[in-house]
Amino acid sequence: MKKVIFAWHVHHDVLVEPLTEPIKNRIKYIKEFKPENEIKLRLRLLKVVKGELPKELVEAGKQYCEVRRKFFEAYEEGQKFVEIKQKYYKAKWEIKKGKLSKEFIKTERQYYEARQKITETEKKYDEARRKFIKAKEKYYEAYKKYESQILSLHAKECSNCPWDGETIFSKR
């Protein structure tokens, strides 16, 4: 498992968390999709943790990232079936309008092949989701266990921060 980088305020309601993608992706997302009045504060507070976090939290964060990756892989696999199903029903609708097309024959075959696989995919997704939730809970348990130590490090690294224990938007 590769090294996991932690950052302050990746999300407005989480103090510290492991980055599941490069921080530049989060910066881009904030600039493109967050309300204009939040962008400046979010960007000012979003930063990589420089100090040392408790080992238990780091390990839980690594596990969280790995399980999250597998969860989203399983989710993507399920989405492929949804797309095939949509194409199939669209082509089937054309038949009801009296148009038998090559597209229907192609999508019908894809749909039934995918339907046979979907049960297995759903099981993988459910298992990945359970593991994801468990890993997230383990991470938050480690956070709570070392909260005072984490808050102390946060105070050193994130000066003039409006974090109130729940959100960065508390002083509006």
Alpha-carbon separation of residue 165 from 8, 33, 37, 98, 108 (angstroms) = 13, 24, 21, 62, 53
Percent of the chain with pLDDT over 70: 94
pLDDT of 38 higher than 70? yes
Query: Region 149-161: what's the mean pLDDT?
Result: 96
pLDDT of 56 higher than 60? yes
The amino acid that residue 128 corresponds to is A
Percent of the chain with pLDDT over 90: 64
d(CA 53, CA 16): 10
Instruction: Give the global pTM.
Output: 0.79
Among residues 135, 141, 5, the alpha carbon closest in space to that of 72 is found at 135
* Structure confidence at residue 36 (pLDDT): 97
For residue 154, give every residue at least 6 positions away whose Cβ sits within 8 Å of its Cβ, in sequence order, or none.
8, 15, 16, 161, 163
Tell me the pLDDT tens digit for each residue of 66-117. Answer: 999 999 998 888 888 888 888 777 777 777 666 666 777 777 778 777 777 7
Task: Find out whether 121 and 77 touch, Cβ atoms under 8 Å.
Answer: yes
